[in-house]
C-alpha cells in the first residue's frame, strides 16, 4: 500500500523526529457532527438516571446467564452432545443409520429401556440386577461366594486394574531384558505393592490382603489362594518349575477340566489319548470302544479318570432325581462321566494337540486356576522354550495360544515378520471382595489413596523400573479406582491454567485501561457473551452444544478485548483535543511482548492498544463521548461484519462440526460486539463520572492503581524516555509505540518493501507447495490429550491396539431405499426414520436370491486357502475368524439331536452372523421327518441316518460339510420364517447356545442378523461379518477397506443388490469430505470477507489488498500444518476457518485507518495506518 508512483525517492517523506509533539488542530467541530443523539445520551446516562444504561445491560447479561443455567438444569447433560458428527447428505452415512433405525436399536427382555430401572429389573423373575445393569438371570445360580472369591466392586463395577507396557527406542517387549523388567515390576506390584500402606500406616501387601482368590473343587475347608492373573508374561512363564507347580495345583483341585486334566503331562508331545492321524485312541475298534472307551488309553490316564468317577459317584446319583435344569446346572467337567466327554475328545484330537501343562488363560485342559505368577513362577522361559512359545502363539491351528496372543499383544504384532517385535502389551488383574460397594469404598479410600497408598507406591515403582530399563520401557496403569483421581488431576491442572489465563488477561487489562472497574467490566462483557450466545443457541435455536464450540472461549477473549480497547482509546483520545495528555512508554509493550509465554499464546489477543481520534470536539464530555462512540462504532462494525461473515459462510460446509462451530462463533462475536457497544460504553461513562480519583498519572494512587508505583518509578528514573508531563493546553504528544511504528519500523518496511514482498511471496508459494505435497487427512480421531500423561497415552494405545469395543462389524442389508434410505432425521439417532423399499429386497426373496445370500455367508469359509486371504485374524484377510478352510468343526451330537450348529471348539470363530444358515439347518431338520423315527424306520427312510451312540435319527444332510439348499419359493420361504415352529426352534437354539457357553452369539445376533416382515412379505434382511481392520486408519486405508468389502459382496452376491456398512465408513466419509470442506470453507470465507470489505471501504484496491493479505495468512497456516506434524482433522479444519475470521479482524483495522486517512498519498496513508493501528494489531496477535 505504501508503494506510490508519486514517491520520488526510496525514503518516505520527511517525518518529525521522535519525541516532537504534534501540532494542535485549529479546526472547529462542525455543527451537529458530534452532537450526541438520543441513543448516545442514554448510554451516557443522560436519560432516566445516570446508571440506568449501565445497570440495564448488566442485568440483561445476568438474565441470559441464569436463563442458560435454567436450561442446563432442565435438560441436564442432554444440552451437551458428544455424539459423532456425521455428513447426513452422504449415502453411506444414510445407509448406516437407516439400518439402525429399520432393524430397531431397542433391546428386548431384560435389556430394554424399561428394565434400566433397578426396581423393574428386580421385579422380573427372568432378570437380575448386576453391576448397575439389568441382565438375564443366570440359568445356573452360583453358590454363595467365599472370601475374596468375587471381584471387588467400585461404583457398581469391577475394580479392574490394567497395565499397558510400551517399548521405546526401537526395542521389543519380547526381548529377554525387557521381559525381565516387566517381570520384576509385576512381582513387586502383586506381592508387597512396593510397600503400600493403608491410611493408618499399616503395610498391606497385595497378595495377602487384596488379590482375587481361587478355591479348589471338592475341598470346602481350603482357605484359597491368589487366582491367576491375565498377564502377557503368563505365556513366557511355563518352564519346568512352573509346570510342576501347575500339575500340583491341578491335583489339589484348582482346575475346571475334571477328568480331562488326567491327559496332561510335562512333555511337549502329542496327547496320550490321541493318534498321530488325528483320531481318538481305540476308535479303530468300535465294538470294543463302545464297551470300554478307555481300553487303549495309558494306565496312568485311566486310573486318574477312575478316581474322578469314584469321587463324583454321589453327585452322579443325586442328578438322577433332579429336574432337567437342576441336572444340567450340577453337571461339570469335574463330575462328568467320560462317555459324555468323548465327542469333545474326538474333536480335540483332530487338531493333533499337545497335552503339556499350560499357562492360565489358554482355555485348555492343562492349566491351573490358581497359578499366581508373582509367587508361583520361577523365572521365564529362554532359548528353545521361548522359540516354541513364539511359534505356538502364531500357529493358526493352535487356537488356544493364538487366542492368548490376541488378548495380550497388540493388533500391530506381525506373526509373518522374522523378528516378531511387540511394541505394546497388556496385563489385567482384579482385587477380590464380597461384591458389595462398601468394600470398594474402603479399598479406594483407605488403601488406594493417600501419599503412601497403593497408587502412589505404584507410581514410584513405575519410575524405578523405567529408570532401570534405561528409558526403553514405559509402564502405564489404569484402574477403576484411580481413573477418577488421574483425570481429576488433569482437570485441576487445566482449570488452574484457565483461571490463571483469565486472571492474567484481567490484570493486563487493568494495567492497560488503568482502571480495575473497566477491566472487570470488559471481562464481564467478554465472558458473558458466551452464556448469551449459548442461550440463543439452546433455547431459541433448540440446538445442542458440541464440545468443540467451547473453543470460542479463547477466540472471544481476543476479539472482545480488541473491541474494548478500541472504544476506550477513542474515548481517551477525545480528551487530547482539550489539552489533557495521554502517552505510554514503549518499554511497556516491549516487556509484555518479550515476556509473553507460549503457554498463554491464545491470551496474547488481549494485549490491545489505543488509536488516536482525528477530529476535535468542543470540550464537553458528552460531545467527546459522542465522538469516541461514533469513531469506534464504524471500525468495530466493519470488523464484526467481516468476522461474522467469514464464520457464517462456514454454514455451507458439509461437515456438521465445521458448520455448527462457524455459526456459533458468528453468534458469539456478534453478541460480544453488542455488549461492547452498549454495556462497556456505559461502563466508560460510569468510570469517568463517578470512579475517577483526583491523583494524576505517575502518582501512586493515580490511574492504574497498583500500576501507579511503576509509573512513579518510571517518571522518576526514566524521564528521558518517559517524557515530561506537558502542561495543560499544550499540544498532545504521540505515544512511544506510535512513534516507533510510524518512525523506525515504517522506514525499514518502506526501504525494503520489494524485498519484504518477495520474501512473503516466496514463503506463501513454498507453503502452498508443502501443503499440496505433505498435507494429509487425519489417520485417527482427535487425541484425548497430551501423550506425556500415562492415562492419556495408555487410553490411546488401548483404543488403537486392543479393540476395547470388540471386533469391528460389517453389516450387509437389503430392503432400504437406494436413493433416500433416511426419510427423516430425528433429534437423536434413535429417532431417525428409515425408508423401506420392497423392490430392493424382491430379488433376495426368490430361490436364486436365497442361494446367493447363503453363498455370500459361506464364502467366508475359504479362509486363507490358495492365497485368498478371506478369513484369518490379521488385516491381511477381510474377515476375522478361523484361518483354516471350511466351517468350524461342528459338535456332531448337538447337531444330530437338535439341528443346532455349535462349534466343537469354543475358540473357533466362523466370522459371520447369518440368519439364512440357521434357516437352512432348520429346513433340513423340518423337511426330513427323521426326528421321531426309531432305528429300523430311520434306516429305511431316504434322507435319514441313525446314530447308535446317542440313539438318534437325524437328517443325512447333516453329515455333509455344506448342506445343499435348493431355495424355496418366495411364499413358502416367508411362511416358514413366520411360522410358530421356526420361532420355537430358534428359541430352543438360543437356549442350547447359552447352556454350551455360546451365549455371546445369542446376544450379538439380536442386532447383527435377522429379518423384518409384514403381511406382504419380507421388508428387511441383514447379515454381519467380523472385520479385521483396526480402530484407527488413514483415509487411504479406509477407502481401501471399503473397496475390498465392495468387491467381496459383489463377487459373492452379484445380483441381489443391497449395501454394506460399518463404523469405519463414517470416518471414511468425514475424512473424504474434510479437504473439500476446508477448501470450500476458506474460499467462501475469503469471498465473503472481500465483499464486506468492498461494501465498507467502497475501494476496490483496498479490498483487493485485504483479500491478498488474508489469503496469504491462510496459505501460511495451511503449509505449517504438516510441518509441525499435524494432519487435517476436524479441529484443524475448524482452525483454518477461524484463521480467516481472525485475520480479517486484524487486516480490517489497518485497512479502515488507511481508507479514512486524510493524507493525500498512499505513503502517508500507509504510515498513518501503521502508526495508529500497529499497536492494536500487534498486541491482539
Report pLDDT digits (tens) over 624-655: 677 677 767 777 777 777 777 777 777 777 77
Q: How far apart are CA 814 and CA 839, in angstroms?
A: 10
- Residue 725, pLDDT above cutoff 60: no
- Residue 191, pLDDT above cutoff 80: yes
Over range 58-73, report the average pLDDT.
79
pLDDT class of 721 with cuts at 50, 70, 90: very low
Q: How far apart are CA 307 and CA 328, in angstroms?
A: 22
Say what the pLDDT of residue 1079 is.
Answer: 73
Over its C-alpha atoms, the chain yields an Rg (Å, rounded) of 39
pLDDT digits (tens, 9 = 90+) for 142-161: 667 888 988 888 877 888 89
- Residue 1010 contacts by C-beta under 8 Å, 6 or more apart in sequence? 103, 915, 1021, 1022
- Residue 95, pLDDT above cutoff 90: yes
pLDDT class of 47 with cuts at 50, 70, 90: confident
Q: How far apart are CA 465 and CA 85, in angstroms?
A: 42
pLDDT class of 23 with cuts at 50, 70, 90: very low
Cα–Cα separations (whole angstroms), residue 1178 to 122, 590, 593, 1147 = 66, 11, 9, 11
Say what the pLDDT of residue 905 is.
Answer: 77
Closest CA relative to residue 1133, chosen from 800, 784, 775, 764 = 775
How does the average pLDDT of the chain come out, rounded? 77
Q: Are 801 and 424 within 8 A, CB to CB?
A: yes
Q: Are 440 and 753 within 8 A, CB to CB?
A: no
Say what the pLDDT of residue 1180 is.
Answer: 65
- Residue 465 contacts by C-beta under 8 Å, 6 or more apart in sequence? 181, 184, 185, 473, 475
Q: How far apart are CA 974 and CA 1017, in angstroms?
A: 6
Cα–Cα separations (whole angstroms), residue 556 to 10, 510, 515, 559, 599 = 41, 18, 21, 5, 18
- Residue 703, pLDDT above cutoff 70: no
Q: Give SS3 for 697.
A: coil
Q: Are 1026 and 879 within 8 A, CB to CB?
A: yes
Question: What is the DSSP code (8-state) at residue 545?
Answer: E
Closest CA relative to residue 743, chosen from 4, 9, 8, 14 = 14
pLDDT digits (tens, 9 = 90+) for 1073-1101: 776 777 777 777 788 778 877 877 778 88
Q: Are 538 and 81 within 8 A, CB to CB?
A: no
Nine cell digits for residue 503: 486472571
Say what the pLDDT of residue 233 is.
Answer: 93
Q: Give SS3 for 1142.
A: helix
Cα–Cα separations (whole angstroms), residue 1151 to 755, 1087, 1166, 1178 = 22, 17, 9, 15
Beta strands, E only, 771-844: 809-814, 822-824, 833-834
3-state helix, strand, coil in the chain (%, to 5): 55, 10, 35
Q: Give SS3 for 213.
A: strand
With 0-12 / 13-18 / 19 or more C-beta atoms within 10 angstroms meaning exposed / middle / buried, residue 806 is exposed
Beta strands, E only, 935-1016: 944-947, 952-955, 1010-1014
Strand order in the sheet with 473-479: 230-231, 424-429, 161-167, 473-479
Higher per-residue confidence, 685 vs 370: 370
Closest CA relative to residue 732, chosen from 848, 589, 583, 629 = 583
- Residue 1168, pLDDT above cutoff 50: yes
What does the CA dihedral 944, 949, 951, 956 come to, rounded to 10 degrees?
-10
Q: How far apart are CA 1163 and CA 13, in angstroms?
A: 8
Least confident range from 48-57, 347-356, 527-536, 949-958: namely 527-536
Question: What is the DSSP code (8-state) at residue 1014?
Answer: E
pLDDT class of 980 with cuts at 50, 70, 90: very high
- Residue 817, pLDDT above cutoff 90: yes
pLDDT digits (tens, 9 = 90+) for 572-611: 444 444 332 222 222 222 222 222 222 222 222 222 223 3
Cα–Cα separations (whole angstroms), residue 674 to 98, 526, 639 = 43, 11, 13
Nine cell digits for residue 14: 520527511
Question: What is the DSSP code (8-state) at residue 1011?
Answer: E
* Cell 499350560 found at: 358
Q: How far apart are CA 832 and CA 1083, in angstroms?
A: 33
- Distance from first CA to last CA of the chain, Å, rounded? 21
Q: Are 649 and 1084 within 8 A, CB to CB?
A: yes
Alpha helices in 422-551, H assignment, sequence order: 437-443, 454-468, 483-513, 516-527, 529-535
Q: How far apart are CA 21 and CA 643, in angstroms?
A: 36
1122 alpha-carbon distance from chain centroid: 22
Question: What is the DSSP code (8-state) at residue 111?
Answer: G
Q: How far apart are CA 1065 and CA 1039, in angstroms?
A: 8
What is the Cβ-side half-sphere exposure of residue 736, based on CA atoms within 13 angstroms?
13
Over range 62-74, report the average pLDDT.
78
Say what the pLDDT of residue 83 is.
Answer: 56
- Residue 28, pLDDT above cutoff 70: no
Higher per-residue confidence, 437 vs 941: 941
**CB atoms near residue 187 (< 10 Å):** 15
- Residue 239, pLDDT above cutoff 60: yes
Q: Are 465 and 185 within 8 A, CB to CB?
A: yes
- Residue 1176 contacts by C-beta under 8 Å, 6 or more apart in sequence? 562, 565, 566, 608, 609, 610, 611, 1149
User: 836 - beta bridge partners?
Assistant: 816
Q: Are 1017 and 845 within 8 A, CB to CB?
A: yes
Beta strands, E only, 11-111: 80-81
Say what the pLDDT of residue 927 is.
Answer: 83
* Cell 520520488 found at: 8
Phi-psi region of 866 (alpha: psi -120 to 50; beta: other; left: phi over 0): left
Least confident range from 152-156, 858-862, 934-938, 956-960: namely 152-156
Say what the pLDDT of residue 381 is.
Answer: 92
Q: How far apart are CA 853 and CA 1023, in angstroms?
A: 9
What is the torsional sign of CA 1011, 1012, 1017, 1021?
Answer: negative
Phi, psi of 920 (to 5 degrees): -65, -40
Cα–Cα separations (whole angstroms), residue 6 to 1125, 1162, 1164 = 47, 9, 11
Q: Which of 178-187, 917-926, 1115-1124 has the highest mean pLDDT?
A: 178-187
Nine cell digits for residue 871: 478369513
**CB atoms near residue 994 (< 10 Å):** 17
Over range 737-757, report the average pLDDT.
86
Over range 548-560, report the average pLDDT.
49
Closest CA relative to residue 777, chosen from 953, 590, 1033 = 1033
Over range 900-926, report the average pLDDT.
88
Phi-psi region of 150 (alpha: psi -120 to 50; beta: other; left: phi over 0): beta
Q: Give SS3 for 1160.
A: coil
Say what the pLDDT of residue 851 is.
Answer: 94
Say what the pLDDT of residue 243 is.
Answer: 92
pTM over 0.85: no
1006 alpha-carbon distance from chain centroid: 26
Say what the pLDDT of residue 18 is.
Answer: 30
Nine cell digits for residue 673: 460486539
Q: Which of 92-106, 115-129, 837-851, 1139-1153 has the highest mean pLDDT?
A: 837-851
Over range 801-817, report the average pLDDT.
86
Say what the pLDDT of residue 154 is.
Answer: 84
Q: Which of 448-452, 703-707, 1069-1073 has the highest mean pLDDT?
A: 448-452
CA 635-640-646 angle, to 5 degrees, is: 130
Amino acid at each position: 500500500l505504501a508503494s506510490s508512483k508519486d514517491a520520488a525517492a526510496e525514503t518516505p517523506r520527511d517525518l518529525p523526529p521522535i519525541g516532537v509533539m504534534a501540532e494542535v488542530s485549529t479546526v472547529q467541530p462542525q455543527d451537529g457532527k458530534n452532537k450526541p443523539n438520543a441513543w448516545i445520551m442514554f448510554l451516557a446516562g443522560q436519560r432516566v438516571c445516570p446508571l440506568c444504561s449501565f445497570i440495564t445491560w448488566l442485568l440483561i447479561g445476568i438474565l441470559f446467564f441464569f436463563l442458560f443455567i435454567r436450561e442446563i438444569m432442565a435438560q441436564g447433560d442432554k444440552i451437551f452432545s458428544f455424539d459423532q458428527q456425521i455428513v447426513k447428505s452422504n449415502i453411506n452415512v444414510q445407509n448406516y443409520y437407516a439400518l439402525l433405525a429399520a432393524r430397531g436399536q431397542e433391546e428386548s427382555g431384560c435389556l430394554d429401556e424399561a428394565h434400566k430401572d433397578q426396581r423393574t429389573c428386580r421385579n422380573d423373575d427372568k432378570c437380575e440386577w448386576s453391576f448397575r445393569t439389568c441382565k438375564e438371570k443366570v440359568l445356573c445360580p452360583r453358590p454363595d461366594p467365599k472370601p475374596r472369591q468375587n471381584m471387588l466392586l467400585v461404583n457398581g463395577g469391577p475394580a479392574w486394574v490394567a497395565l499397558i507396557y510400551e517399548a521405546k527406542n526401537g526395542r521389543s517387549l519380547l526381548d529377554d531384558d525387557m521381559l525381565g523388567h516387566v517381570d520384576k515390576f509385576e512381582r513387586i506390584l502383586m506381592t508387597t505393592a512396593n510397600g503400600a500402606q493403608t491410611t493408618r500406616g499399616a503395610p498391606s501387601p497385595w497378595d495377602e490382603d487384596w488379590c482375587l482368590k481361587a478355591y479348589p473343587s471338592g475341598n470346602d475347608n481350603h482357605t484359597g489362594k491368589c487366582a491367576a492373573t491375565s498377564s502377557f508374561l503368563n505365556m513366557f512363564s511355563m518352564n519346568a518349575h512352573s509346570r510342576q507347580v501347575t500339575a500340583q495345583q491341578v491335583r489339589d483341585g484348582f482346575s475346571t477340566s475334571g477328568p480331562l486334566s488326567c491327559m496332561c503331562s510335562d512333555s511337549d508331545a502329542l496327547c496320550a489319548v490321541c493318534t498321530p492321524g488325528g483320531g481318538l485312541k481305540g476308535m479303530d475298534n468300535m465294538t470294543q470302544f463302545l464297551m470300554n472307551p478307555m481300553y487303549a488309553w495309558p494306565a496312568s490316564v485311566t486310573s486318574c479318570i477312575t478316581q474322578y468317577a469314584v469321587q463324583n459317584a454321589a453327585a452322579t446319583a443325586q442328578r438322577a432325581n433332579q429336574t432337567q435344569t437342576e441336572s444340567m446346572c450340577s453337571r461339570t467337567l469335574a463330575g462328568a462321566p467320560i462317555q459324555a466327554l468323548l465327542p469333545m475328545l474326538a474333536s480335540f484330537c483332530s487338531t493333533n494337540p499337545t497335552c503339556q501343562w499350560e499357562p492360565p488363560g489358554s482355555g485348555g485342559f492343562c492349566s491351573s486356576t490358581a497359578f499366581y505368577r508373582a509367587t508361583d513362577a520361577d523365572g521365564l522361559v529362554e532359548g528353545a522354550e521361548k522359540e516354541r512359545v513364539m511359534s505356538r502363539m502364531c500357529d493358526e491351528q493352535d487356537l488356544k495360544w493364538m487366542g492368548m496372543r490376541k488378548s495380550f499383544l497388540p493388533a500391530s504384532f506381525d506373526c509373518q515378520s522374522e523378528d516378531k517385535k511387540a511394541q505394546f502389551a497388556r496385563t489385567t488383574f482384579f482385587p477380590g471382595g464380597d461384591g458389595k460397594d462398601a468394600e470398594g469404598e474402603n479399598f479406594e479410600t483407605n488403601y488406594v489413596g493417600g501419599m503412601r497408598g497403593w497408587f502412589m507406591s505404584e507410581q514410584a515403582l513405575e519410575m524405578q523400573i523405567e529408570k532401570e530399563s534405561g528409558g526403553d520401557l514405559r509402564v502405564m496403569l489404569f484402574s477403576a479406582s484411580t481413573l477418577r483421581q488421574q483425570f481429576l488431576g488433569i482437570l485441576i491442572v487445566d482449570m488452574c491454567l484457565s483461571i490463571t489465563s483469565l486472571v492474567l488477561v484481567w490484570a493486563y487489562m487493568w494495567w492497560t485501561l488503568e482502571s480495575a472497574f473497566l477491566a472487570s467490566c470488559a471481562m464481564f462483557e467478554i465472558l458473558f457473551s458466551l452464556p448469551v450466545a449459548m442461550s440463543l443457541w439452546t433455547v431459541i435455536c433448540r440446538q445442542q452444544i458440541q464440545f468443540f464450540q467451547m473453543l470460542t472461549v479463547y477466540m472471544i477473549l481476543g476479539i472482545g478485548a480488541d473491541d474494548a480497547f478500541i472504544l476506550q482509546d477513542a474515548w481517551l483520545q477525545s480528551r487530547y483535543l482539550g489539552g489533557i495528555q495521554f502517552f505510554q512508554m514503549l518499554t511497556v509493550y516491549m516487556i509484555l511482548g518479550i515476556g509473553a509465554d507460549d503457554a498463554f499464546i491464545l491470551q496474547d489477543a488481549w494485549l490491545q492498544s489505543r488509536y488516536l481520534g482525528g477530529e476535535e470536539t468542543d470540550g464537553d464530555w458528552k460531545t467527546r463521548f459522542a465522538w469516541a462512540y461514533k469513531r469506534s462504532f464504524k471500525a468495530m462494525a466493519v470488523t464484526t461484519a467481516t468476522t461474522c461473515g467469514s464464520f457464517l459462510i462456514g454454514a455451507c460446509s458439509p461437515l456438521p462440526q465445521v458448520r455448527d462451530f462457524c455459526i456459533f462463533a458468528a453468534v458469539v462475536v456478534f453478541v460480544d460486539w453488542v455488549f461492547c457497544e452498549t454495556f462497556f460504553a456505559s461502563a466508560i461513562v460510569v468510570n469517568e463520572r463517578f470512579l475517577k480519583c483526583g491523583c494524576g498519572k505517575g502518582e501512586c494512587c493515580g490511574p492504574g492503581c497498583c500500576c501507579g508505583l511503576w509509573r512513579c518509578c518510571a517518571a522518576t528514573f526514566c524521564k528521558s524516555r518517559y517524557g515530561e508531563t506537558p502542561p495543560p493546553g499544550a499540544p498532545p504528544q504521540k505515544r512511544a509505540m506510535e512513534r516507533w511504528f510510524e518512525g523506525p519500523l515504517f522506514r525499514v518496511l518502506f526501504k525494503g518493501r520489494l524485498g519484504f514482498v518477495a520474501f512473503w511471496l516466496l514463503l506463501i508459494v513454498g507453503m502452498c507447495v508443502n501443503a499440496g505435497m505433505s498435507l494429509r487427512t487425519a489417520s485417527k480421531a482427535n487425541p484425548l490429550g497430551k501423550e506425556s500423561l500415562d492415562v492419556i497415552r495408555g487410553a490411546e494405545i488401548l483404543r488403537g491396539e486392543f479393540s476395547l469395543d470388540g471386533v469391528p462389524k460389517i453389516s450387509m442389508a437389503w430392503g432400504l431405499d437406494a436413493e433416500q434410505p433416511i426419510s427423516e432425521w430425528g433429534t437423536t439417532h434413535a429417532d431417525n426414520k428409515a425408508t423401506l423399499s420392497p423392490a430392493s429386497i424382491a430379488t433376495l426373496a426368490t430361490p436364486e436370491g436365497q442361494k446367493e445370500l447363503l453363498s455370500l455367508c459361506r464364502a467366508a469359509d475359504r479362509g486363507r486357502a490358495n492365497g485368498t486371504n478371506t478369513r484369518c485374524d490379521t488385516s491381511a484377510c477381510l474377515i476375522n475368524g478361523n484361518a483354516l478352510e471350511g466351517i468350524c468343526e461342528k459338535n456332531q451330537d448337538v447337531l444330530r439331536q437338535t439341528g443346532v450348529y455349535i462349534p466343537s471348539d469354543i475358540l473357533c470363530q466362523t466370522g459371520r452372523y447369518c440368519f439364512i444358515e440357521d434357516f437352512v439347518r432348520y429346513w433340513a431338520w423340518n423337511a426330513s421327518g427323521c426326528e421321531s423315527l426309531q432305528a429300523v424306520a430311520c434306516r429305511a427312510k431316504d434322507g435319514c441316518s441313525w446314530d447308535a451312540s446317542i440313539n438318534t435319527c437325524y437328517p443325512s444332510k447333516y453329515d455333509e460339510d455344506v448342506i445343499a439348499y435348493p431355495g424355496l419359493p418366495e411364499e413358502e420361504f416367508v411362511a416358514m420364517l413366520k411360522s410358530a415352529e421356526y420361532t420355537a426352534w430358534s428359541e430352543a437354539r438360543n437356549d442350547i447356545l447359552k447352556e454350551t457357553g455360546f451365549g455371546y452369539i445369542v446376544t450379538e445376533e439380536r442386532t447383527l442378523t435377522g429379518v423384518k416382515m409384514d403381511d406382504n412379505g419380507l421388508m428387511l434382511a441383514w447379515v454381519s461379518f467380523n472385520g479385521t481392520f483396526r480402530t484407527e486408519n488413514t483415509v487411504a486405508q479406509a477407502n481401501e477397506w471399503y473397496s475390498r468389502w465392495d468387491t467381496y459382496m459383489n463377487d459373492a452376491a452379484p445380483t441381489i443388490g443391497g449395501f454394506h456398512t460399518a463404523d469405519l465408513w463414517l470416518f471414511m466419509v468425514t475424512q473424504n469430505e474434510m479437504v473439500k470442506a476446508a477448501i470450500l470453507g476458506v474460499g467462501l470465507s475469503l469471498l465473503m470477507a472481500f465483499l464486506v470489505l468492498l461494501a465498507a471501504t467502497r475501494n476496490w484496491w483496498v479490498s483487493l489488498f485485504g483479500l491478498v493479505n488474508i489469503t496469504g495468512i491462510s496459505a501460511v497456516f495451511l503449509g505449517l500444518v504438516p510441518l509441525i506434524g499435524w494432519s487435517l482433522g476436524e479441529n484443524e479444519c475448524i482452525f483454518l476457518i477461524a484463521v480467516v475470521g481472525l485475520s480479517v479482524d486484524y487486516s480490517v483495522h489497518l485497512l479502515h485507518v488507511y481508507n479514512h486517512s486524510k493524507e493525500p498519498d498512499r505513503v502517508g496513508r500507509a504510515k498513518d495506518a501503521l502508526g495508529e493501528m500497529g499497536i492494536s494489531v500487534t498486541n491482539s496477535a
